[in-house]
A and B are shown apart, each in its own frame.
Chain A
Amino acid sequence: MTPRRRGSRDALVGHLARSAVTRREFLRRMGGAGAMLVAGPTLLAACGGEQAAGCEFTTTNIGDNRTLNFANWPFYIDVVEDGFFETTSIQDFESETGIDVNYLEEVNDNDQWFAKVQAQLSQCQDIERDLTVLTDWMAARFIRLGWAEQIDKSNVPNWVNLVDSLKSPGFDPNRDYTLPWQSGMTAIGYNPQLTGRELTSINDIFDPAFAGRVTMLTEMRDTMGLVMLGMGIDPSEATVDDARAAAQKIKEHRENGHIRRFTGNDYTEDLASGNVVAAFAWSGDVIQLQADNPDLRFLIPEEGLMLWSDNMLIPGGARNKTAAETWMNYVYQPRVAAKIESWVNFICPVKGAREAMIELGEEIGDEELIALADDPLIFPDDETLAKTHIFKNLDEEEEREFNELFQDAIGA
């Protein structure tokens, strides 16, 4: 169904390719090597002198705005290969505006990227990036620390195309600093052949029959959020006590061997090879897995599911701030958003993108592209969206406590 799945290949290459194509890419597992490389120098810099809270950046918008340094996640924008179009969105943008895009696929993991840039930002130095994409909670941290530039909305008139459900998140109620790049849902991916039955509830993941054959995510908000929903707690209003209860439940099931691992993107590989029968999973990944293994399902649990976004954010001191705003405005045109979505397969935050995708499909005469507009995981219906929850916007102290509890629960 999705066009960028390329025929069949042997198992090993398939495994690697699969993990390579997904967004929270396998480099995240390398958390390892990469983290160690950045950890050394940053650990030093981190303790070098006073940490400023709230910065006065002196380099904001002093550049010529002829280039845009854009730090994004791997495989998070359209490319020509395996796509529907002759040109990429970046090329279109360059020829329309004359701005050169220096596109860097360097954000593999929110925490790791934070570790990489925090030393400079905390000294109020710019990081030579004009735009980056960060998940809600990390964007919230940047705003809290004063490391985000306020968006000049007069440069981004198209921001009105932002879907209503994402217009006013807790961490940025007026969208002064961020605009969603993509959203996605977190719930359970499973293989009915191996579970032997249909799943309906989040708590099905605790079924003793699946002992040692289920995984959860290392992203605190995704895993804690789903477990809380299963316990009847609303993650958008969770207290520390709620977090403690959820962490306790996770810990018990980790210690008795029920939960096999806590994963980044690599659950896809375990799910595809049958090592696990059910996993906490991201919607976009499951769409891609289904291309190889149509049996796999993404469960919309009766208790609800988690919704997250990755947001475009202009880091403090960005030299080409106007260029970044020009880009934001550009991608918030429905036709551009539809083109990016045709490759990326997460949830599009731009109104009218679905119609634009059908329109584009008719123009180039591609049935597959038109069919993509009907995928409920890319353009979810209102009923599904009504079941989604966004994790609470935590303050510093809560974030530390929640993280502490969660890390203890997952045994790290």
Chain B
Amino acid sequence: MTTTAAVTGRRRWVPYLLMAPGGLWLLIFYFVPIARLVEVSLQSGIFPRYRFTWEVGNYLRLFTDFLPHLQRSLLYGLGATLIGLLIAYPLAYGIAFRGGRYKNLLLVLLLMPFLMPFLLRTLSWRIILADNGPVVEALRTVGLLGADGRLLATGVAVVAGITYNFLPFTTLPIYVSLEKIDRSLIEAANDLYASPVVAFWKVTFPLSMPGVVAGSLLTGIPAIGDYVNAELLGTPEQYMLGNVIQSRFLRVLDYPSAAALSFSLMLAILLILIPYIRATGTEDLVA
């Protein structure tokens, strides 16, 4: 009897022991830094002498000074995520269902450009979209852009840059969930006189939702916080909250404001995420 009790006792602890490394990791590298971040965000003073003074004003600056930046972060980030989904879904669908024996090749082609460093890829867009470049010339010729029109250093270029840079993160999860779908389910739908369109909306699309959710999270969260695209492809009129945080932290040495803005951005993202995940569900994400 005693041995059984000892075994069950031990068993009860095993899951916690297994969780310990991950839990410790989270504690040290996630919760402690966040607590520190909040602490710094309530400090005041001049570098290097900051004092903790419950300086709530650091947070109010978000609304007095940096509201346009927050709005642009959300607009560009969510816009790019949406456009990314519209591009990624047909792409993933094509590879999964029509790729045939070229499937792996197509995946490699999709990922190949991303072997190049992120910054070089973004800088290359500066050449493609340059005022005298081929894209602008072509758009001018067909009259979509005025004689003085430009693409580089506009919001269009920034959203395009974000969309492009995060495309694989949207495409791959969608591809994986499409690939997993049991084809006989679609055949069954067809046998039951569902047109291809109806079969897609009733069978394929719902089954691919986990990929859509995962892809949009993987893209949306970093896209809202991105600032490199706005820096390189935009002008100050396109700067996002990330740009402000960077300049507060590095140039002005105003760590408290930088911390307050970072924390606010995290909260904003969380506020968007919660209803989104509630509506779409995450159970399938782990399946």
The chain A residues found within 8 Å of chain B, CB to CB, are 11-12, 15-16, 26, 29-33, 35-36, 39-40, 43-44, 46-48, 51, 53, 109, 111-112, 114-115, 118, 122, 145, 212, 218, 220, 254-255, 257, 259-262, 266, 269, 273-275, 396-397, 400, 403-404, 407-408, 410-412
Of the candidates B36, B244, B250, the one whose C-beta lies within 8 Å of that of A111 is: B250
Interchain nearest-CB distance for A82 vs B (Å): 22
A15 nearest in chain B by CB position: B127
B39 with A47: CB separation less than 8 A: yes
A122 with B244: CB separation less than 8 A: no
B236 nearest in chain A by CB position: A411
Q: Given the known A-B contacts A32-B231, A53-B48, are A43 and B127 also in contact in the complex, defined by CB atoms under 8 Å? A: no
Kindly state whether residue B37 has any CB partner on chain A within 8 Å.
Answer: yes
B126 cross-chain contacts in A, Cβ below 8 A:
269
Kindly state whether residue B141 has any CB partner on chain A within 8 Å.
Answer: no
Of the candidates B46, B153, B255, the one whose C-beta lies within 8 Å of that of A397 is: B46
B150 nearest in chain A by CB position: A212
A46 with B40: CB separation less than 8 A: yes
A109 cross-chain contacts in B, Cβ below 8 A:
250
A32 nearest in chain B by CB position: B228
A275 with B48: CB separation less than 8 A: no
CA distance A407 to B253 in the complex (A): 12
A122 with B252: CB separation less than 8 A: no
CA distance A7 to B86 in the complex (A): 44
A412 with B153: CB separation less than 8 A: no
Interchain nearest-CB distance for B263 vs A (Å): 11
Of the candidates B36, B130, B246, B255, the one whose C-beta lies within 8 Å of that of A31 is: B246
Kindly state whether residue B33 has any CB partner on chain A within 8 Å.
Answer: yes
B231 cross-chain contacts in A, Cβ below 8 A:
29, 31-32
A274 with B131: CB separation less than 8 A: yes
CA distance A12 to B120 in the complex (A): 11
Kindly state whether residue B175 has any CB partner on chain A within 8 Å.
Answer: no
Q: Given the known A-B contacts A35-B250, A51-B48, are A412 and B243 also in contact in the complex, defined by CB atoms under 8 Å? A: yes
B255 with A396: CB separation less than 8 A: no
B258 cross-chain contacts in A, Cβ below 8 A:
43
B132 cross-chain contacts in A, Cβ below 8 A:
273-275
Kindly state whether residue B54 has any CB partner on chain A within 8 Å.
Answer: no
Interchain nearest-CB distance for A19 vs B (Å): 8
B153 nearest in chain A by CB position: A260
Classify the secondary structure of B's interface with A: helix
A411 nearest in chain B by CB position: B236
Interchain nearest-CB distance for A147 vs B (Å): 10
CA distance A46 to B237 in the complex (A): 31
A255 cross-chain contacts in B, Cβ below 8 A:
237
CB contacts under 8 Å to A, within B224-278, are: 227-228, 231-232, 235-237, 239, 243-244, 246-255, 258-259
CB contacts under 8 Å to A, within B119-177, are: 119-120, 123-124, 126-127, 130-132, 148, 150, 152-153
A145 with B237: CB separation less than 8 A: no
B81 cross-chain contacts in A, Cβ below 8 A:
none
A261 cross-chain contacts in B, Cβ below 8 A:
153, 235-236
A32 with B236: CB separation less than 8 A: no
Provide the B102-128 mask, 1 if CB < 8 A to any CB of A, else 0: 000000000000000011100110110
Interchain nearest-CB distance for A242 vs B (Å): 19
A35 cross-chain contacts in B, Cβ below 8 A:
246, 249-250
Interchain nearest-CB distance for A276 vs B (Å): 9
**Between-chain CB contacts (< 8 Å), 26 pairs:** A11-B127, A12-B124, A16-B120, A29-B119, A29-B123, A31-B231, A32-B119, A32-B231, A33-B119, A39-B246, A39-B250, A43-B40, A44-B36, A46-B40, A48-B36, A51-B50, A53-B49, A112-B250, A218-B251, A220-B251, A255-B237, A261-B235, A274-B131, A275-B130, A275-B132, A410-B236
B50 cross-chain contacts in A, Cβ below 8 A:
47, 51
Of the candidates B118, B250, B255, the one whose C-beta lies within 8 Å of that of A47 is: B255
Considering the complex of A and B, which 10 residue pairs feature the smallest CB-CB distances, nearest first? A411-B236, A51-B48, A412-B247, A32-B228, A111-B250, A47-B40, A403-B252, A275-B131, A273-B130, A412-B243
Of the candidates A33, A145, A397, A407, the one whose C-beta lies within 8 Å of that of B251 is: A407
Q: Given the known A-B contacts A44-B33, A260-B235, are A412 and B244 also in contact in the complex, defined by CB atoms under 8 Å? A: yes
Q: Most A CB atoms within 10 A — which of B36, B236, B251, B258?
A: B251
CB contacts under 8 Å to A, within B21-40, are: 33, 36-37, 39-40
Kindly state whether residue B58 has any CB partner on chain A within 8 Å.
Answer: no
Kindly state whether residue B43 has any CB partner on chain A within 8 Å.
Answer: yes
B118 cross-chain contacts in A, Cβ below 8 A:
33
A33 with B228: CB separation less than 8 A: yes
CA distance A274 to B127 in the complex (A): 11
B227 cross-chain contacts in A, Cβ below 8 A:
32
CA distance A32 to B244 in the complex (A): 12
B244 cross-chain contacts in A, Cβ below 8 A:
412
A407 cross-chain contacts in B, Cβ below 8 A:
247-248, 251-252
A115 cross-chain contacts in B, Cβ below 8 A:
249-250
Interchain nearest-CB distance for A222 vs B (Å): 13
A412 with B236: CB separation less than 8 A: yes
Interchain nearest-CB distance for A89 vs B (Å): 30
Interchain nearest-CB distance for B270 vs A (Å): 19
CA distance A257 to B246 in the complex (A): 23
B247 nearest in chain A by CB position: A412
CA distance A260 to B124 in the complex (A): 19
B250 with A122: CB separation less than 8 A: no
A412 cross-chain contacts in B, Cβ below 8 A:
236, 239, 243-244, 246-247, 251
Apart from the given pairs A46-B255, A257-B235, 9 other A-B contacts in the complex at a CB distance below 8 Å: A29-B119, A43-B249, A47-B255, A111-B250, A118-B48, A218-B251, A261-B236, A273-B132, A412-B246
B252 cross-chain contacts in A, Cβ below 8 A:
400, 403-404, 407
CA distance A207 to B194 in the complex (A): 66
Q: Given the known A-B contacts A30-B119, A43-B249, are A257 and B237 also in contact in the complex, defined by CB atoms under 8 Å? A: yes
Of the candidates B46, B153, B239, the one whose C-beta lies within 8 Å of that of A411 is: B239
B259 cross-chain contacts in A, Cβ below 8 A:
43
A48 cross-chain contacts in B, Cβ below 8 A:
36
CA distance A134 to B124 in the complex (A): 30
Interchain nearest-CB distance for A27 vs B (Å): 9
A31 cross-chain contacts in B, Cβ below 8 A:
231, 246, 250
Interchain nearest-CB distance for A193 vs B (Å): 12
A122 nearest in chain B by CB position: B48
A273 with B127: CB separation less than 8 A: yes
